[in-house]
Amino acid sequence: MSQFDLILLGPPGAGKGTQASRIAADYRIPHVSTGDILRAAVKNQTQMGLEGKKYMDAGELVPDAVVIGIVRERLQEPDTAKGFLMDGFPRTIPQAQALDAALDDLGRAITKTIVILVDEEDLVKRLTGRRICRVCQAPFHVNFNPPREEGVCDKCRGELYQRDDDAEATVRNRLEVYRSQTEPLIDYYDRAGVVARIDGAQSPDEVYASIREVLGPAGE
Ligand code: AP5
Ligand code: ZN
Q: 139-141 and 130-133 as β-strands: parallel, antiparallel, unpaired?
A: antiparallel
74 within a domain of the structure (yes/no): no
pLDDT at 1 over 50: no
Q: What is the mean pLDDT of the chain?
A: 95
Residue 53 belongs to a domain: no
For the chain, what percent of residues have pLDDT higher than 70?
99
pLDDT of residue 125: 96
The pocket of ion ligand 2, defined by CB under 5 A, consists of 133, 135-136, 138, 153, 155-156, 158
- In this prediction, what percent of the chain has a pLDDT beyond 90? 96
Q: What is the dihedral of CA 166, 168, 172, 174, to 10 degrees?
A: -10
Q: Which residues are catalytic?
A: 16, 91, 130, 163, 174
Ligand nearest to the backbone CA of 154: 2
User: From the CB of 55, is ligand 1 less than 6 Å away?
Assistant: yes
Distance of CA 200 to the CA centre of its chain: 14
Number of separate domains in the chain: 1
State whether the beta carbon of 188 lies less than 6 angstroms from ligand 1: no
125-172: pLDDT as tens digits: 999 999 999 999 999 999 999 999 999 999 999 999 999 999 999 999
- Decide if pLDDT at 220 tops 80: no
Q: Is 50 a domain residue? A: no
| Best probe residue, ligand 1, of 115, 145, 175, 199 (max atoms within 8 Å of C-beta) | 145
The answer as to whether 60 is a domain residue is no
Q: What pTM did the predictor assign?
A: 0.94
What does the pLDDT read at residue 154?
97
Please choose from 31, 61, 175, 208 the residue to mutate so as to test ligand 1's pocket, defined by most ligand atoms within 8 A of CB.
61
58 domain residue, yes or no:
no
Instruction: Give the C-alpha separation, 54 to 61, whole Å.
Output: 10
> Does residue 38 belong to any structural domain of this protein?
no
- Does residue 73 lie in a domain region? no
62 by DSSP, 3-state: which? coil
User: Quick one: average pLDDT of 184-211?
Assistant: 97
Q: What does the pLDDT read at residue 218?
A: 87
Q: Is the pLDDT of residue 176 over 90?
A: yes
Banded pLDDT at 219 (limits 50, 70, 90) = confident
On whether residue 208 sits in a domain, the answer given is yes
Residues 6+ apart with CB under 8 A from 94: 64, 68
Average pLDDT over residues 81-109: 97
Ligand 1 neighbourhood includes 38 CB (under 6 angstroms): yes
pLDDT at 49 over 50: yes
| CATH number assigned to the domain comprising residue 11 | 3.40.50.300
Domain holding 12, by residue range, is: 4-29+82-215
Ligand 1: does its nearest atom lie under 6 Å from the Cβ of 30?
no
Query: Among 88, 31, 35, 90, which Cα is nearest to 57's?
Result: 35
